[in-house]
Chain A
Amino acid sequence: MHQTFTITEIRTENYRTKTFIFDRGLPEAQPGQYMMAWLPDVGEKPFSIAGADPLALMVVAVGLFSEALHRLRVGDRVWVRGPLGQGFALRGRHHLLVGGGYGVAPLLFLARTILAAGHTVEVCIGARTAEDVLLAGAFMSTDSTDFNGLGKKKSVSSVQSVDRLSITTEDGTLGERGLVTQVVEAAITARRPDCVYACGPVPMLTALARLCQAHGLPHQFSWEAHLRCGLGICGSCELDAATRQAANIPAGWLVCKDGPVRIMNRDS
């Protein structure tokens, strides 16, 4: 069933992205899991959990539902079903996180979880242009009031920045010019991680899958599909055959319940 959460803070991330922070947590949520947000009379859509305690959602206004979310104010309520699906599962001690565009949404929560475990984390963010780069400041900040509560208990007063952050834009308006996959390859060669975690557009993920396969690296990617029931019963969220083959994902794999994170180890 849905539980109601009240918005306590709304942060504007860029020209079309807001982060909503709620009055309480979804403490059992793991990084990489998702939830369904329901607005009665509007609809229900899946979102990555951007932070669990307090619950945080990063929303890009791209359609009727996300635009309706953007019209909400502090004090308004959102109905939530979740956490749902399979999240990331830390493997090893040195972690490389790759976010493409809006795909950084679940990665700050993951980075905070990694740092809390005392491991090292390197983050590569890719975007089309400078204004599409999201959360870059939050990954580096140590100021707990600066949006860093995402994924952490409210009571934690200081946070650690990630060990290394690189930014790539396709037009070179911020960071390196090019595709994030090039930066990832250099990072893998220079500082071989124990595992690569990624979320972003399918072409980025399939390119990263090939890269990780070539380097024999365990990897965990979060995939996107048309999610409906969120319960593993309606069968609406299979990946297309080309994507599955490129990423070595078995036929019949359901993004909503088996995923959204597919965990791939070296030998698979």
Chain B
Amino acid sequence: MTPNLTCDLLGLTLRNPIVLASGILGTSTDVLERVARAGAGAVTAKSCGPTPRAGHPNPVAVEWGHGLLNAIGLSNPGAEEEARMLAEARARLEPLGVALIASIFAGTVAEFGDVARIIAAARPHLIEVNISCPNVADDFGTPFAASCESAAAVTEAVKRNVAAADGGGIPISVKLAPNVPNIGRIAAAAVEAGADAITAINTMPGMLIDAEAGRPVLSNRMGGISGPALKPVALRCVYEIARAVRVPIIGTGGVTTGRDAAEMLMAGATAVGVGSAVWARGVEALGNIAAELAALMAQEGYKALDDLRGIALHS
């Protein structure tokens, strides 16, 4: 019997739990539609902030043998333009049955609220709150994801502004950073402040130095580690969050195969983010990972996602 990959995420019915992670493609309606057609259950747009940003100069991303290191620098067209793109994307994804997740960032709690209000008007199915991008420290200081207090403050401001926007009621997912002493406590603080879900994790801050150049490889010097090297870090974080809170988790970090996706679900994730696998396997990665997940479930005798979700938590 073919396993059922249908995924319930905050009342949305996804055809499968595979979600395009924020920051990978997601820059335009056309690219989002292409990823949707490639088999994603949901797609996340690239993070947008209050005003347009060009991002960092090259080199912005390199492959280093165990995954990627990137510091694109939150290139985005600003919230107003992003909202127009998202409204069109939602209309295009609707007939495909693929959910649209927006992603927002800002430099202050108040700006997070402003961006949330503008983006909510485009009616994405979910708004992801990126309080954890490691690549803009010069501009934005310590990520909000570093403490319970700042994570809660942003969550509360976003939640309030989204509720006040046209129609209200769009759920929010707070995206956490892995490099904190106790990610479960930060997740709990976000949930206490109104987060409907948690996305975990963002990339892990890292650096590469070229031995012949004697220089950091990225123009931003530091960047975010993603790809296979991140998977064990992400699994540990998702596992800890799943033990700390009862809201859905979009488990993200180093998922390259259907087997990786199964492991993320077993750690307690409701859905599974896929990012750098697009580099390794092309846009087709999303549909292929979903198919591999189904094959693994069939092999192991799981009929539906609920049968394997969180099972590693009970060991």
Contact = CB atoms under 8 A, between A and B. Distances in A.
Contact of A4 (B33, B59, B75, B212): B212
B62 interface: yes
A231 B215 contact: no
Given A41-B215, A235-B26, A251-B30, A229 B57 contact: no
A232 interface: yes
A228 B61 contact: yes
B59 A1 contact: no
Contacts of A228: 55, 58, 60-61, 72
Interface residues of A, number: 28
Interface in B19-40: 24-28, 30-31, 33-35
Interface string A30-47: 000000101011011100
Contacts of B282: 232, 257
B24 A233 contact: yes
B58 A233 contact: no
Contacts of A252: 28, 30-31, 33-35
A229 B226 CA distance: 14
A234 interface: yes
Contacts of A257: 282
B279 interface: yes
B210 interface: yes
Contacts of B208: 1
Interface stretch (B63-71, B99-107, B161-169, B187-195): B63-71
Contacts of B4: none
Given A235-B25, A251-B30, A251-B33, A1 B276 contact: no
Contacts of A2: 62, 210, 213, 217
Nearest to A4: B212
B215 A43 contact: no
A236 interface: yes
Given A41-B215, A228-B72, A235 B31 contact: yes
B231 interface: no
Nearest to A241: B30
Give the residue among B59, B65, B275, B279 with the most A Cβ atoms within 10 A.
B59
A230 interface: yes
Contacts of A147: none
Contacts of A36: 58-59
B46 interface: yes
Given A36-B58, A234-B75, 19 more contacts: A38-B59, A40-B213, A228-B60, A228-B61, A231-B68, A232-B282, A233-B68, A233-B276, A234-B25, A234-B70, A235-B31, A238-B27, A238-B28, A238-B30, A238-B31, A250-B34, A251-B34, A252-B31, A254-B31
Interface of A: 1-2, 4, 36, 38, 40-41, 43-45, 77, 79, 81, 228-236, 238, 250-252, 254, 257
What are the nearest 10 A-B pairs in CB distance?
A: A235-B27, A252-B34, A251-B30, A44-B58, A229-B61, A40-B213, A252-B30, A40-B215, A44-B59, A235-B25
